[in-house]
Structure formats: C-alpha cells, structure tokens
Amino acid sequence: MSYLFTSESVSEGHPDKVADQISDNLIDHFLAFDKNSKVACETMVTTGLVVLAGEVNSNIYLDVQKIARDTIEKIGYTKSEYQFDAKSCGVISAIHEQSEDINRGVDKENPEDQGAGDQGMMFGYATNETEDYMPLALDLSHRLLMELAELRREEKEITYLRPDAKAQVTIEYSDDNKPQRIDAIVLSTQHDEFDADEKVMLEKIKNDVREILIPRLIKKLNNPMVEELFKGDITYHINPTGKFVIGGPHGDSGLTGRKIIVDTYGGKGAHGGGAFSGKDPSKVDRSGAYATRHIAKNLVAAGLCEEVLVQVSYAIGVAEPMGLYVNTYGTAKVDMTDGDIAREISKMFDMRPAAIEERLKLRNPIYGPAAAYGHMGRKPETRKVTFKNGGREESMEVEFFTWEKLDFVDQIKSKFGL
C-alpha cells in the first residue's frame, strides 16, 4: 500500500520567523565584532512591539534596536497598515549578562576541552530523494514560499502580497519509499485589501498561485522527475479560510524557536527538541544538529545508504559526547550493522564542541540567512559581508551553510570500501 507524508514551511514574514531572524541577526553582529561572544537571545513580536531578552557574555555593546528594525524592514514590514512596521514599532531590550554558573562549564583553560553549553540530544538526517538530500515535501514547501517572496518583492505579476505566508505539501510514496505524486498543496498568503468581494478576491489568489507561482517554481527546479509529480491530480487548498489581510505579528505573536520542524526535516527523521536561532555555536542544540546533518548528508552522498538518521548527545560542561547513534533504516550498502557504522563514523568526526566549531567554521556571522526557509538543505557559498555598529564597521569573507558541504565523501568511500 502507498502512503502519504506531509511537511510544512512558513515564510520569512511569519511572526515566529520574524523573531528567529531578529535573534540570529543579533548573533551575527555579536560574532562579527567579538568571535568569542556567548549569546542566548530570545525575541517576541506582537502588534507594534518587539521584546528582546536573553543572556550575553561579550566585549561589544550593540545597538539592538537598530538591528531589530533593520531586520524587520528587510523582511518587508514597512507599512503602517500592517500594524507592525520597522520604523514605528517599539523595541524593548531585557538582555543581560550570562550566568557565570553556565559559562564556567563551557570555557576551559585548554580551548579544545570546551564543554557543551547544555545537555541534550541532537539529530541529523539525510535522504537521496532530492538533489540536496532533503525530504521532498519539506523541500517543495520551502521553495514555494521562497518563490512567493520573490514575487512579492518584484511587485510585477502579483502585486497584493504581504509578508506572512505558510505552505504545506503532501507526497504520495510507494511501498519502497519512493515519491510517486504530489497529493495536495496547501498555501495561505497574507494579502492587501481587495476592492472586489471575498469570492472574487479568493478566485484571483487561487488562479495566481496555480498559474503564476507553480509554473515559476517548476521552471526554476529544472528537474524532470519533480515536474512529473506536479502533473497528477493535485488537491489545492489556497487561503482555505478566505480573507487573510490581518497577519504577521499583528495577527499572531511570534517567538524565537517555535518552528524547529520547519528549520530541520519537516517531521522526517527525528528532533532533539532544541531550537537553533538566538544561540551562539557553543550551544550544542545548534552546533550538534549542524554536525549530525553534515555527517548524514556525506554518508548518503557517498552511497553508504539511501537514508540515514544520526544522533549525538551531550552532558553540560563535558566535551566528549555521550554517544553517536546511526540508523540507516535498512538501506546500508555495506555488510555492517548500524552500530558498527556508528563506531567507525565516531572515529572520523571529532564531535567535541570546539572541534565542531572549528570544522564547520561556526564562529563566523553566518546565521541570519539560515533563520528563514530552513537551516538544512541550503547551498554552501562564500561571500563578503559587512556589519556596522555605531561608528564601527567590520567586513569579512565567510562561508555560509558549511554543514551542507560534501567534503567527507571521499573519506567515507575509502573507509567503507564504496
């Protein structure tokens, strides 16, 4: 029997994602001016208001109000009718110094002995069903919203779009776990007021999604296999509740860290429960999750398996992980148990927090772009960035999404005789 699997994504203008992006842009500014900053910052957004809270240990003082407003403006909340806009919203900061009781477990005399910033378990997942080794339903959900945001910014083909949106894709799989067709697409987008009645408005939005957004997405994907999936009898639910003018932080309050499944694998694999945004890389919720994704993606890309879940776990203040777990879901191409594979992998990848930071270059200001449309499955790239704070300016060239690099494929092939 075939089965259905669904994943969702949310746009950069979704209130929870507004909060994530503000928190991660604060992280980037702290790291740009002080690479050794220890930061855990949360953001709450609601009608006309941003509240910042958290703990910081850094030698730089930031203009957090400006960073928050610049982030909101970039997202697209720039009009007073949104009831939340970059220029007029209030910004309250309750950020204070980090607890010494926490910091003492992280900083050590020998930097290599840096302890984990917290206890917990983190998971990385990869599958060969897409080119970026991500679950197809989540990949398409992200791409639908990225294309919708591009249409919004162009203001040419669809001119009524506002920043808040959600997408959901349901894929039908065969018994051997291969995507067969797209069963359903749900898309809700915030929009301007229409002069027409609600029925006409809704029909206009439905037609634009199906006749403009979907064809643009298919063309950009440039993937015949995925294009075939769109040719079936798809059920569309476009703005199923009807009118969606009130949205963003005015429609719902937003909090950092409330979209952890959107940020990772759309419900595939597993999740340890820890959010990423607002945390410097000494927090293993973030660095451990990136490191396990890096392992998982390289394992699948090397051909060791078709699908894999990797888990790592830590004790607060302790450098060495509690253990490494691997589950290939019976798809391994080598004559080894998953436990044997895990033991070999643990010899190849140093999973101490300091080693992860070094290997993946996580002490750079690279987190803002990851805070919307998923932290995983993104394209690694190097580019120059500039950060300003008061009269200071820092420019540097940094690598983004290093955990997506396929730089261990050859080593894995050699190790396992692939």
Annotated binding-site residues for ATP read 14, 164-166, 243-244, 252, 258-259, 275, 279
Q: Treating both helix axes as pointing N-terminal to C-terminal, what angle do 338-348 and 409-416 enclose, rounded to 10 degrees?
A: 130
Helix boundaries (H) for 209-283: 214-221, 224-229, 248-251, 260-263
SS3 assignment, position 294:
helix
What is the C-alpha to C-alpha distance for residues 228 and 249, in angstroms, rounded to an integer? Answer: 37
Per the annotation, binding residues for K(+) are 42
3-state secondary structure of 20: helix
Return d(Cα 351, Cα 292) in angstroms, integer. Answer: 9
- Secondary structure (DSSP) of 108-135: -SSGGGPPBSS-EEEEEEEETTSTTSS-
Phi then psi dihedrals of residue 237, to 5 deg: -120, 100
Cβ neighbours, 10 Å, residue 173: 18
Per the CB < 8 A criterion, the answer to whether 205 and 196 are in contact is: no
Run of H or E residues at 407:
none
Element (H, E) at 358: helix 353-360
Burial class (CB in 10 A: 0-12, 13-18, 19+), 13: buried
Tokens 């909060």 identify what position?
19
Beta strand 381-389 with 392-400: parallel, antiparallel or unpaired? antiparallel
Look at the alpha carbons of 28, 33, 35, 39 in this order and tell me if their dihedral is positive or negative. negative
Cα–Cα distances in angstroms (integers) from residue 45 to residues 57, 69, 95, 246, in the given order: 24, 12, 15, 15
Backbone angles phi, psi at 241, to 5 degrees: -85, -5
Sequence ranges of the binding site for L-methionine: 55, 98, 252, 283
Q: Binding-site residues for Mg(2+), please?
A: 16
Annotated binding site: 14, 16, 42, 55, 98, 164-166, 243-244, 252, 258-259, 275, 279, 283
